[in-house]
Chains A and B, each alone.
Chain A
Amino acid sequence: MAETSKSRAPGRLTLSPAPHFGAPTSTAWMTWIVSLSLVPAAVWGVFLFGLPAVRVIATSICVAVAAELASSALFRRFTLADGSALLTGLLVGLLMPAGAPLYVPAAAAAFGILVVKQSFGGLGRNWMNPALGGVVFALLSWSSAMTRWAAVGDASVGTAVVPPLEALRSALSAPGAVGRPLEILASHGYVFSSLDGRIVSWLNSHVLSLFHAALAGGSFDILVGYVSGRIGEVSAPLLMVGAAFLLWRRIVRWQVPVAYIATFAFLALVFGGLAGGQGWFSGGPLFHVLSGSLILGAFFMAGDPVTSPLASTGSWIYGIGLGLLTFLLRFYGSLGDGVAVSIVLGNCAVPLIDKLVLQHAPARAREGI
């Protein structure tokens, strides 16, 4: 305070209620930064799937912004500048397969903005992530349209149109699939890109053979995200770049994504192999963490400050719960990769978690919250 009052004209005091410190952050700044940090993954999705991906993302952003404008007019409260409608639209677009008919992203974005967010009083009062609310609405309503995948690049790439996770799930639903995820995919004739074949065989013959190890075909594609899937979820490295920036700027707290991904990976490792006729501790945790929208959901949606717990104890409970739910839904459920549905369910539990944590917090800590 001393420095700021020095810089002001003498004799003029600034009166303000406590707390007497500030940060150059605002809600709008945060949402814009989150949107920006999603751009690399979105660009990758457009690079993979081409014009259809652009159409899907543009539709969902336009509808989200239009819905926000319309509801602003109804409530006479102009909120477009906080950037949250654009972020919701972008997230909805990124969670769609590129081949989805355009009414699906449009309906999901409109549902997210109008029903999930604005009906409950706008940004900050929504008790569910608007984008995920919209996506789950679309999943329940148009489950076949939500699995209209697009081919990666042109025909020369040669990768299968169905994402690896979906192919694995359908392979496991029939009896007789044995092995780790990539082995099952290989035995069912799943085709990865020719680039992957060259890189993996070079690594196997020149580097890994020295250690008597071998990579399964498809490892490179899965790691880099050169596979089919929802537009924004495929590239884990690029998502991690955006996520690292958010963690560095402390826009997302690390507890939720870490607890979420670690719980899920642990459960996938311990029990994931059972479905494929393997024993315990033989699942493919890396495959499962990198496929589906786990990375996108964990960093960009589960930790949304509006719909995640207040205290750090609560964040751990919430993250572990999300990991458990996602594991159950993905391995024993029928609705896709389980990320969107479990985060939405987790959002519903957040008020309860906050209440539980507050009840058991010492009085000193309670004042702090």
Chain B
Amino acid sequence: MTPSDVLSRGIPRDDPTAVLLVGLCPAAAVSVRVIDSLWMAAGIFAVMLLSGFCMALLARGKTNDGEVAPRAAAGGWLAALVISSFLTASFEIVLLRAAPEASAALGIYAPLIAVNCLVLTVIDESSRAPSPGRALLDAAGKGAVFAACLLLIGVFREVLGAGTITLFPLSGFSGTIVIGSLSRDPARAISFAGGGLLCLGYLAALARAVKERRL
């Protein structure tokens, strides 16, 4: 596999959210506002990237021939979990300082990044990666696709479910785009958890159609 193959593995063959359907809980719970989706995606991306990289380093350190012995993998797992929880805690602190409102909206899902299934998947795969560089590339590809999916769902749900798009406040811009008529009577059901799962379902269907080259 060339590096670009590794990087683009996420689309759509191994796309974590839309094909493998892992990491669903935060995706459905948090993607109500665009800004929350952005922060969640950023957090998962960073934690995934760094803990995958560390896992690849650790697993590699144990053996010479690239094969990972079970004991080494178990020790590496523990180490990687410690690292991912440390990274998650750092992310929480940054989030609390940079965007208190988003921090409140993410709630329990921010600390839970440490044991997010998607992060765990990437850690597991990194332990078998041929090199730390490859592990980093793989994690980056998956993280980017996850971020894109989350953002897509976030935009869709916030536009239809609330009639707004919440972004960062900048000078002269409050941070929220209000879509006139839609914001008065939005389809609130889309912003419920069921609406989030519905969006995920369509995303999964789209990914499958692309994979089977029917679209």
Is A280 close to B, CB under 8 A? no
Selected contact of A141 from candidates B186, B202, B205, CB within 8 Å: B186
Minimal Cβ-Cβ distance residue in A for B201: A119
Docked-complex contact B185 and A103, CB < 8 angstroms:
yes
The interface residues of chain B lying within 8 Å CB-to-CB of A141 are 186-190
Question: When each residue 117-149 of chain A gets 1 if its CB lies under 8 Å from chain B and 0 otherwise, what string results?
Answer: 001000000000000000001001110010000
A48 to chain B, nearest CB (A): 26
- The reply on B192 being an interface residue by CB < 8 A is yes
Q: Is A115 an interface residue (CB 8 A)?
A: yes
**B: contact size bracket:** 10 to 19
Q: Which residue of A lies closest to B198 (CB)?
A: A115
Cα distance A115–B188 in the bound complex, in angstroms: 16
Report the nearest B residue to A104, measured CB to CB: B185
Q: Taking CB as reference atom, which chain B residue is nearest A145?
A: B185
Residues of A within 8 A of B202 (CB): 119
A107 near B: Cβ within 8 Å?
yes
A6 to B188 CA separation, bound complex (whole angstroms): 63
Q: How far is the CA of A142 from the CA of B191 in the complex (A)?
A: 12
Q: Which residues of B contact A103 (CB under 8 A)?
A: 185
Partner of A142, one of B188, B192, B198, B205: B188
Residues of B with C-beta under 8 A to A145 = 185
In the bound complex, residues from chain A placing their C-beta under 8 Å from that of B205 are 119
A137 and B189 CA atoms in complex are apart in Å by 6
Query: Which 3 A-B pairs rank lowest in CB-CB distance, beginning with the nearest?
Result: A140-B189, A141-B187, A141-B189
- A140-B192, A142-B188, A145-B185 given; 6 more Cβ-contact pairs under 8 Å: A103-B185, A137-B189, A141-B186, A141-B188, A141-B189, A141-B190
For this complex, 20 residue pairs linking A to B, each with C-beta atoms less than 8 Å apart, are A101-B185, A103-B185, A107-B187, A115-B198, A119-B202, A119-B205, A137-B187, A137-B189, A140-B188, A140-B189, A140-B192, A141-B186, A141-B187, A141-B188, A141-B189, A141-B190, A142-B185, A142-B187, A142-B188, A145-B185
Could you tell me which B residues sit within 8 Å of A by CB distance? Answer: 185-190, 192, 198, 202, 205
